[in-house]
Amino acid sequence: MGGVFLYVFIFLLALILAYNFLGRGKREPQKRATLPPGSMGWPYIGETLQLYSQDPSVFFAAKQKRYGEIFKTHILGCPCVMLASPEASRFVLVTQAHLFKPTYPKSKERLIGPSALFFHQGEYHTRLRKLVQGSLSLETLRNLVKGIDAIAASTLDSWGGGHVVNTFHELKKLSFEVGILAIFGHLDARYSEELKKNYCLVDNGYNSFPTNIPGTPYKMALLARKRLTKILSAIICERKEKKLEDKDLLGCLLNSKDERGETLSEDQIADNIIGVLFAAQDTTASIMTWIVKYLHDNPKLLEVVKSEQKAVRKSNDDEGNQPLSWSQTRNMPTSYKVVLESLRMASIISFTFREAVADVEYKGHLIPKGWKVMPLFRNIHHNPDFFSDPQRFDPSRFEVAPKPNTFMPFGSGVHACPGNELAKLEVLIMIHHLVTKFRWELVESQSGIQNSPFPVPMHGLPARFWKESTS
């Protein structure tokens, strides 16, 4: 019997092997994910020179036209996959965000501080993001309106007289002061001036070549960053001595404890304060500068915005020269659509950097581990499939909500800008003072864009401003 079972076992085994062997040739070969189409350029330098020898928007648009909505390239020393569709952006930033970590050059991390929230993901990032969002809640913003109104009025009042103003540089002053207000509340003038002086040096060196040679912008920025740490340490020490329970960002950071009862270190607090200042200043100043240009270039629209804002101002003047109120800033429909359309047109955050933490497959394409991944917000915002006649400035298009994931001026997902409501509030208040108090003309007619690093009108939009009669 044992011999029979052995023969049966051998026979069955032979059948199984034969089936597998014969069947293998009939199976569909398994498709392997391949790299997206595109060019990697020259060895080492890739296509970096092509990128910086022209408007980056033109570079990316040409690539998309040639290769489609997902393509590869090699820039800034890194192999990259570019994504120019809403679905792909959502895949990277929302649904599969755990597969893509935020990434920045180490030279830039050193200037802002390695503990800043936008360099992280996971538990630490979640904790810091909640703290920042908590310090910028709608209730907090309501209480900031009066202070932002005073800052905007003071900044713009220095523009009159018809002398040439670098609009972007002046609006950076406004956004810096608003950042100080949101972070510290009312800060002693001596601290404010020292912060401003040293932060400007950090800002100037941020996009310079990273070298430790004395006298270079980057080395000066590193030294200024060390001084900023000392200044912030003094402010923190003073705040701790007073034992205040302030609801500004510094108060939220100081009073925070995790589930183990541990507080944030002074370095962590300093890094996140500098990070918030960095995120708040240039981006908001850039969009405000574009609004000055867009309103100038669209005189009929300017008249509609003026009419809306002058009605608000008349109401406040009739009540004894009152400042703007929170409710008024929430009821500026035309001006608000101007803000949204400016965010779309200018696309200040043109793209964002991520890095694949594992090999990832997307629609048959391989995104290798370690490659940079860049969702291209500007390409999506200027796609005629989502926004008709996308090069035309038309705030009325926002009378209807955009299609999902096609309008991402502040990014998307867990790393979206937590200060977006503060930014929009600041911009609306600036518009109010601009159109009710001034007329202006641009000094230079060219329509070029410079990236420093965010897109702004050429040369910071030089302009002349004259105060209008209040009668």
Exposed/middle/buried for residue 84 (C-beta within 10 Å: 0-12, 13-18, 19+): buried
Q: Which two tokens stand for residue 176?
A: 């810096």
> Using CA atoms, how far apart are residues 161 and 157, in angstroms rounded to an integer?
10
> Using CA atoms, how far apart are residues 309 and 165, in angstroms rounded to an integer?
23
Instruction: Please check if 417 is assigned to a binding site.
Output: yes
The answer to whether 458 and 444 have CB atoms below 8 angstroms apart is yes
Question: Strand, coil or helix: what is 369?
Answer: coil
Nearest to 80 by CA among 348, 358, 370: 370
Nearest to 272 by CA among 374, 124, 144: 124
The DSSP annotation for 271-303 comes to: HHHHHHHHHHHHHHHHHHHHHHHHHHH-HHHHH
Nearest to 203 by CA among 282, 269, 91: 282
> Using CA atoms, how far apart are residues 155 and 82, in angstroms rounded to an integer?
40
- Residue 363's CB: how many other CB atoms inside 10 A? 12
Extract long-range pairs of 6-10: CB within 8 Å, 24+ residues apart: none
The answer to whether 202 and 110 have CB atoms below 8 angstroms apart is no
- The residue type of 122 is G
**Which stretches of 158-216 are DSSP H helices?**
167-184, 189-205
- The residue type of 68 is G
The answer to whether 69 and 85 have CB atoms below 8 angstroms apart is yes
Numbered residues of the known binding site for heme: 417
Numbered residues of the known binding site: 417
